[in-house]
Each structure stands twice: as C-alpha cells, then as structure tokens.
Amino acid sequence: MTPCNWPGCTGTVDETGFCDVCGLAPLPDTTKPASTPSRSTGRDIWTVASLVSLPVLTFSPDGAATEPLRVPEEFRFCPRGHPVGRTRGGRPGRDSGFCPYCPTPTPFNFRPGLQPGDLVADRYEVLRCVARGGQGWVYLAHDTHNDHVDVALKGVLHAADEASLRAAVEERRFLNALDHPNIVRSIDFATHDDPVAGPTGYIVMDYLDGMSLRRLQVAAKDPRQPDVSLPIDHILAYGHEILAALDYLHRRGLLYTDMKPDNVMRTADRIKVIDLGGVRKVDSGSEGVVHSVDFSVSKAEYQERGPTERSDLFALGRTLEELYRSRTPGPDIPGAAPDALGIESFNRLVARAIRPDWDRRFASATEMSEQLLGVLREILAGQPDRRQPEPISLFQPSARLLDAGLGLVLPLRTWIDTVDGTVLDDGRPASVDVALGLAVPRPDPEDPAVDVLRTVDASDAQALLGELAMVEQTSVEIELSRCRAHLALADPAAAAAALSDAETLTGAQTDADWRIAWHRGLLALAADRIDEAGQQFDAVYSDIPGEVAPKLALGYCAERGGDHVRAARYYAAVWQRDPFQASAAFGLARLRLAATERAGAVAVLDEVPALSRHHDAARIAAVRVLSSRLPGGPPTAGELNQAVHRLAALDLDGAARDRLTTAIREMALDLARSGDAADLTGGPVLGEPPTERAIRALLERSYRALGQQAQHAAFPDLLPAARSTRFRWAGRTDDVGRRAAHDLLVDRANAVRPRTRW
C-alpha cells in the first residue's frame, strides 16, 4: 500500500486502488495525458478531509428498529397496477388481501416476506426486518458461513419464473465488484422463494450501524439529541463524499439513479451510499429505472435522454437542497458576518445542479465537486485560521493589482501639477484596467487546440496575435485568446469580432459556456458599460459559484454603481477566503475610505501577508492613507505619527522615500498652520521639536530634492495629468522640460522656507 497523495489526506491507497480515508484514486501523473478528462479542468475530486472534521457519532443498536415497518399507502398496488390497501371510511388500509378490481382474485401482501429465523440461500439467518426501501424490505441477518457476521438483505427483484430470476441475478453480479469507502459493500446476491411474492432476489450487503440522512434531519431537530446537528458545512461535506461515490460509479459506466437522503447512511465516522438496487449500466435505457419523484428529473427528460450522470447530479442537488431546507434554524456560518456571501453561493450551487435545462447543469461529479469545495472554503473562511490560498481554480492567477496606483509612491508630476499633494485620490481603477487585470480562465481541457495553446509563448498581446495567426486550427479557446489580445491592444471592435467567432463555434451551447459570458463581461467592462458587465459576471457566478474571480468582478461593478454594501459583500467573500487576493483588500480599503473610515482602511491593508507580491504596495498605501487628506478632513496628529513610524520600516530607494516624505511633511505643515501639530512626534521626518518653522525647513529640503530628481527623470514621467496654467509644456524639448520642472520645484521650496530675520 502507498500513501495517498491528495493534499491534506493521511490515508493509504489499498489493493482496490482507492484511498481508505478520502475514497479517491491517487492524483494522476501530470506528465501523462488524462484518460478521462472532465468538462471543467481535467482534475479529479479534492479531498474534504482537510477542510471539515466531522464529529464521530454513536448510535443506539436498536435505532434501526424504530423505522416504520408499513408500506406507505401511496405505494400500494396490486401486481396488475390497481390501488389496494388504502384507507376507507376512517379505517386504515389492509396490509394483505385480494384486489377488488382484478377480474380474478389477485393476492397482495405488504408485510415483510421474511420472518426471524428464516434462512436465505441456506446461509443468511434473518434476525429482524429493520427498514423499508424503495423496492423492498431490508433485513438484518447473520452470515452463518462467516462467524455470524451481521449483514443486510435488501430485496430488489421478483420474477415470474426461476429462469428469469437467474438471468436477473447474473446481470447484477457487477455490484459485488464495487469497492469504495463511500459505497456500502455488496458481498453477495442471494435468492429465496417467498410464499407470497414468489422467487425474490436479495442484495447481501455489509450491515451499517448508523442512521440515514433522512433520520439525521429529524434527529438534528430533536432537543434530546444535542450532539446531532446538520450545519451547512457538514451538508457540503456529505455532498462531497457522495460525489466521490458517484464519480466512482460514473467512471465505471454505472448510474445510481435513486439518490435521496434516505439512501445515504451516516455511520460513526463516514458517509455511505446504500441501497444499490437501482444501480444500472449507462446504456441500459430508461425502462424500469428506479427513482424517487421528488428527487428526479422530469419525465420528459427520462423519455428523451434516459438516466444520465447529470440526472444523478440533479438528484444530489435536490438532496442538498432538502437537507439545508430542513436544518435546525440558527447561524449558517459560524464566525462569519451576517451578510456573508457563502449561503448565496451554496444556493447557486444547488440551483445549477437542478436546472431544468440539461445542457446547463453540471456535466460530471468532478465538475460539481470543484465548485462545491469552493463554496465550502468560502463558508469556512469566516472561521479562525481558515484563510488559505486557493488550491485549484478555473482561472489562472493574475499578477496585476487593481488599485489605480494607491499602493505606489506618488510620482513627481504630483508636485508639478498641483501645489497640494496631500489629497488622496479615491484609488479606484478605471474599468478598462480592471478588464485587463482580472484573472484569465484556464483553457478548457476538451478544446481541440488546448495542446497548441500550451506551446504558445508570447511576451505581449501583439506577439500573441502573431503566434495565433500561424495556428491552422480553429477553436473556441483560440478565439477567446484573440479576444483578450485585441482588448489589451485597445481594439474593442476586433475583440468583439473574435468573441463572435467563439460564440459561432460554440453553437447552441453558447449560453451554457460560462467562458463566453466572462468575455462578454470583459468587453462590456472595457467599454465602461458597467450594468451590462455586472449581468454577465453574475451569470458566470451562477455557473461557477465556487470561484473567486466572478465575485471580484462583481465587487468592482457594484462599487462603480455606488452600491457599496453589495460591493463589500463580494470583496469580503474573496478577501476572507484567499489572503493573496490583494485586489479585494484594496477594494475593501477604498470602500472604507469612501466612508471616511481611515483606520478601517489601514486595518485591511495590514492584512496583506508578507508572502504576497503586493505586500509592499499595501504598506505604502497604508502610509499614504494615514498621511493624506480625505473628504472627511485631514488626518490627526496621531495618524500622521503612525505614517512616520511606518515610513521608517519601508524598504524604499532614495527617490521614492523623498517623495513619500514630502507628502507627509506637507500634511504636517497643514496641521501646524491650523494649530493641531502639538501632538506630533519629533524626529528626522518632522523635526525635533516639530514646530512650524522646523517643518518648513524640512519641506524646503524635500522640494529641492524633488527638483534634483526632475533633472534626471524620464521626461514623460514629468508630464502632469492636467496642464498647469502657470507652466506650459507645449513645444518644450526634453531638456528644457526637465529644467522647467526643476525650476518650478525650486520655486515651491523658496515659497515654503521659513522666514529669516535681518
């Protein structure tokens, strides 16, 4: 046996080829092509063991005996399909008798066919009837050939003659080959001659000590069982384990067909899918399919497509919905804010799984599990020590910080363009910059040109278009790459044409492909059509609710639309979940600055971890926030003291430090002029003591230092954003422009220097 190589799993891979803890096959060798790539990323399902620790439960040994042992009246029919055994005149229906509608008396019997002491197949001694399944009774029995080990007998088949029964038994022998930690083990298939029903087949399974999720729903609401609960993170953990079981079946060409809370058992430390009576091969058609109406797709879909992997996932979606709907009322996400986004993401996950449109549902258990785990990470992010980088994503990480320069030291042109460099810009990036800076979707592994795209290595958008022009193949992913390249080259018409070509190649599935909607959103965002972009990104969110990229895009759209409450929900969902999504942190900081919450903005910037590539930008932004004038007024002396202290800890070159120091001294001079500088801390930045005269002398030096920088700066860096009425740049040569900038800064130094007495 070898150790499991899934992150966070401590199990081992046994002789069955699956881990004894997480139930998954080992991670594939990435140097070899995957044999069965998924619709989304081609990766297998991630383990949930490192995210949720399910409590170990104990159960009453006689718990199963409390199940009602009567067939519900709505399921009582005679062999010819007539309703029998129904309540009449207030009297309960008979459990056995003869059908009054048949031309000849037809017996019916809804009592358990086996009695304690009966011996099935000369081996299994019945102890008692413990439950009623969808197709028959379930019995607890002893295996007399194996030390009287407890087994469960599930009656599933009735046949008119022994020949057809033998054929049916042979057909279902494949169940004995199934071996997965999340599927009850089928160990035999036995037959017994029932005196009423006739020849009957029984699946012999391991007997599980536990309760079904249906009973767990009831127990979770019982105050007498305080240790039993059904919080949303447990529901998602159950869903993940069920998906692992369904994935195992689907990869073997099998369908479960009858997923519902009754058919999932919660044992002491594991989730087990039980009741294998409805398992069938993918190509077996829809005749006789076992399903529960409340958890199944429409009758029209069964007639058109038969049972499919997507119908199994539909039933699981309904199961998750049912479990959440009946949970014990209370906090959904421990430790999270009341308006946390996790519940909405959960609802969107379920909504996609149960969409009426077959094409728009999850295509595989792997695809659904990826999104389920993303939602689970989002829900757990509000708890302590739960923030961690995203292990997998449908998007490639973006290196760009969406901050509009808030995390950069002020450029020289700040002091050329205006006398006052102490007013803080809102730091909100332009929509076109956001469109270019958002994460890029990973190529669809099923795209015919995916291997070609992996070999493309272009340094810029123009080079990328050149390489793509040499590719003879045409595919959706190639056109989407062209779309992004044209967008980067500020050619929206060509970008729209490439996207149109991608939509044409997608065909009827255009609305089912979230990548198309994502690029529609990018084009709308680049054109500053914020409402349209928000609608497209919201559609992407509904399709892939476990991903962070759509939420970051929606946060920006909400911020631009003035809905700061909604923007904060999206930004917080991203930031609480992944500490390396610094763009979300800067988004939250902007919202707090807009509300004049200077300390709140600094607090969120301080959360950017040291390992983040944007850590230094966040530290610079914090200094600027503490030393700048906001719409609510200037900083206090205490806040300016913090800026001075933080500046000393920054690792900056001389030019950058001079510019940041100049901004702090300008703000200190404003405080000194208004008489609020008494509490300023002295030192090399503000003087010792920090009097108005000392600050003026230091600010004079700052302006002269900036003048020296102007003489050696690249000329375009000196061009102001707005033409100064005092200084005209038109027609200036580079050398003349640098000298003019130097002279202007020297003039400012002279204007601010302290007066001298003669």
Residues serving a catalytic function are 258
Q: Helices 598-605 and 582-594 meet at what angle, rounded to 10?
A: 170
Q: Using CA atoms, how far apart are residues 368 and 546, in angstroms rounded to an integer?
A: 9
CA–CA distance from 638 to each of 74, 621, 633 (Å)? 75, 17, 14
Structure tokens at 18: 């699956």
Whether cis (ω within 30° of 0) applies to the bond prior to 689 is yes
Classify residue 183 as exposed, middle or buried by CB count within 10 Å of its CB (0-12, 13-18, 19+): buried
Helix (H) / strand (E) element for 313: namely helix 309-325
Q: Using CA atoms, how far apart are residues 688 and 694, in angstroms rounded to an integer?
A: 7
Classify residue 312 as exposed, middle or buried by CB count within 10 Å of its CB (0-12, 13-18, 19+): buried
Q: The tokens 């903005």 sit on which residue?
A: 601
Amino acid letter for position 331 = P
Q: Using CA atoms, how far apart are residues 99 and 79, in angstroms rounded to an integer?
A: 9
Q: Is the dihedral of CA 114, 120, 126, 132 positive or negative?
A: negative
**Strand residue runs (E) in 413-476:** 440-441
Q: Using CA atoms, how far apart are residues 403 and 616, in angstroms rounded to an integer?
A: 13
DSSP-assigned beta bridge partners for residue 124: 120, 143
**DSSP one-letter code for 204:** E
Q: Using CA atoms, how far apart are residues 502 and 40, in angstroms rounded to an integer?
A: 18
Q: Using CA atoms, how far apart are residues 265 and 435, in angstroms rounded to an integer?
A: 47
Q: Using CA atoms, how far apart are residues 554 and 537, in angstroms rounded to an integer?
A: 6
